[in-house]
Amino acid sequence: MIDGSLIFITALAVAAGTGVWLSEGAGRFREILLAESLFTLELLPKIVAGVLIASALPFLMSRDRVQALIGPDSGMRGLAIATLAGAIIPGGPSVTYPLTIGLMAAGADLGAGVALVSGWVLIGLNRTLIWELSFLPPEFVALRVALSLPVPVFLGWIVRRFRREIRLP
């Protein structure tokens, strides 16, 4: 689908490539293009798997069950569940974003989607356990996680409240 985002990203990529070609030469441009093409090939299966999961979720999960857990009327409990789900999702954006869209197609609301993605970004137990605790003092990591815990729930609550006030679909 060709839309404004694709056009913007394409223009940005062409401008960056042109800048590398002009400042570093054709050899460096080809080197970067090859490396990034290989990275894209490595990432492609993850993206395909994420999209397939997102496409299958609405068919695999009962809409009523998803709405009860993280739907628009699930309250703070639903936002806490979405935050926890985001915190425990392993992997990167190629998994998290399609999963979030899939859950929203299956009945989750925008507030729960925001809480899920925010929980993944701010708490991310995979990153916290593997990276942060390997390099940072445990007290620092515990304080950072404790301060981050309420933020995704709060952001989800703000989205829900905002949507109700201006009556967005």
Query: 87 and 147 share a domain?
Result: yes
Query: 67 and 17 share a domain?
Result: no
The residue to which tokens 């949507």 are assigned? 163
Query: 34 and 73 share a domain?
Result: no
Query: Is 75 among the domain residues?
Result: yes
Burial class (CB in 10 A: 0-12, 13-18, 19+), 9: exposed
Query: Is 55 among the domain residues?
Result: no
Query: Is 132 among the domain residues?
Result: yes
Query: 159 and 82 share a domain?
Result: yes
Query: 126 and 78 share a domain?
Result: yes
Query: Is 148 among the domain residues?
Result: yes
Query: 97 and 157 share a domain?
Result: yes
Query: 66 and 37 share a domain?
Result: no
Query: 38 and 2 share a domain?
Result: yes
Query: 65 and 37 share a domain?
Result: no
Number of domains in the chain: 2
**Distance in angstroms (rounded) separating the CA atoms of residues 103 and 57:** 7
- 39 is in which domain, residue-wise? 1-44
Query: Is 51 among the domain residues?
Result: no
Query: 67 and 122 share a domain?
Result: yes
Query: 73 and 144 share a domain?
Result: yes
Query: Is 123 among the domain residues?
Result: yes
Per-position pLDDT tens, the chain of length 169: 788 888 999 999 999 999 999 999 999 999 999 999 999 999 888 888 878 887 887 888 888 999 999 999 999 999 999 999 999 998 888 889 988 988 998 899 999 999 999 999 999 999 999 999 999 999 999 999 999 999 999 999 999 998 876 665 5
**Distance in angstroms (rounded) separating the CA atoms of residues 166 and 169:** 9
Tokens read off for 16: 């960056």
**Distance in angstroms (rounded) separating the CA atoms of residues 148 and 169:** 29
Query: 71 and 146 share a domain?
Result: yes
Query: Is 83 among the domain residues?
Result: yes
Residues 6+ apart with CB under 8 A from 132: 141, 144
